Amino acid sequence: MTSKLSMTQSIRYWAVVPAAGVGKRMNADRPKQYLELAEKTVLEHTLLRLLAADVFSAISVAISTEDPYWSSLATATHPKIVRAAGGKERADSVLSALTAIRTEAADVDWVLVHDAARPCLMPSDIHRLIDTLNNDEVGGILALPSHDTLKNVQNQYITHTVERNKIWRALTPQMFRYGVLKSALEASVGNLAITDEASALERQGLQPKIVEGRPDNIKITRPEDLALAEFFMRQQLMEITG
Ligand code: CTP
Ligand code: MG
């Protein structure tokens, strides 16, 4: 009769951070996760936000095998941070980071996958995601409702207006069970349409839940995003300190 309770108590949380991209759209002299803003690299900010949540047994970070920058980061030697090899696509990097913790993680444990390129994640959003999904079968993702009117377009002419209330923008973290996530990604290897974890689960016929996230959790993609992220970090500091 104690089995359910003891199982719930022993469930752990792991973070996975794909950080092995080249940042082509950023057009900089190095991958965008190593560009600096507010005195630290993007990747350090991201890892510090995850550590600040204080819920993860470990944070598995996928780093390219040719990466010359990682070892100089102060966070690289943190006892909770594990380095894994990066892969060809984002999904390959995530799978590699999951494999790196396979001897410790249980299939029922929760994994939160978070882009290295989203350094403005608030620990409060991590907690809200976990609190909302803890008793969920499948898990889910942070997302934002779309505010713009959206058009379906063919050859530069509008065919129709998309029903906006049905459209959400997927953010990270994305939270799923270790076992389900790993097998969904393994089943999707080589499928370029799998651009986030949720889409790998959707392919298995599962329906991840949406949890509304903060709009300042932006992904650094283009040069102008760096200044925007710095602005959001300053705003967040004022929010915290009052
Ligand atoms: N990523 C990864 N392994 C890859 C490709 C991407 O770990 N083979 C990571 C990136 O480092 C980033 C996250 O996945 O943290 C989201 O991807 P994206 O924003 O597309 O980053 P890049 O692929 O680096 O950028 P770009 O597409 O402009 O080249
Ligand atoms: Mg990319």
Average pLDDT, the chain: 95
What number of other Cβ atoms are within 10 A of residue 236's Cβ? 16
Cβ burial, residue 16 (10 Å; 0-12/13-18/19+): buried
Q: Which structural domains are found in the chain, ordered by start?
A: 13-143+172-241 (3.90.550.10)
| C-alpha triplet 16, 207, 63: angle, nearest 5° | 15
pLDDT digits (tens, 9 = 90+) for 14-57: 999 999 999 999 999 999 999 999 999 999 999 999 999 999 99
Distance 85 CA to ligand 2 centre (A): 16
Q: Are 17 and 117 in contact (CB under 8 A)?
A: no
Q: Which of the 8 DSSP states describes residue 207?
A: -
- pLDDT of residue 3 exceeding 60, the answer is no
The alpha helices in 11-136, defined as continuous H runs, are 42-53, 90-99, 123-133
Taking the C-alpha atoms of 138, 140, 146 and 150 in order, what is their torsion angle to the nearest 10 degrees? -40
Lowest mean per-residue pLDDT among 1-15, 42-56, 83-97: 1-15
Cβ burial, residue 75 (10 Å; 0-12/13-18/19+): buried
164 lines ligand 1 (CB under 6 A): no
Rounded-to-integer distance, Cα 221 and Cα 32, Å: 8
Token pair for residue 24? Answer: 């082509």
Rounded-to-integer distance, Cα 240 and Cα 18, Å: 28
**Which of 17, 22, 66, when mutated, tests ligand 1's pocket best, judged by the most ligand atoms within 8 Å of its CB?**
22
What does the pLDDT read at residue 191? Answer: 94
115 lines ligand 1 (CB under 6 A): yes
**Which of 69, 83, 90, 172, when mutated, tests ligand 1's pocket best, judged by the most ligand atoms within 8 Å of its CB?**
90
Q: Are 188 and 162 in contact (CB under 8 A)?
A: no
pLDDT digits (tens, 9 = 90+) for 59-80: 999 999 999 999 999 999 999 9
pTM over 0.75: yes
C-alpha atoms less than 13 angstroms from C-alpha of 145 in its C-beta half-sphere: 7
Token pair for residue 58? Answer: 């470990």
33 lines ligand 1 (CB under 6 A): yes
DSSP secondary structure letters along 5-33: HHHHHH--EEEEEE-----GGGT-SS-GG
Rounded-to-integer distance, Cα 46 and Cα 43, Å: 5
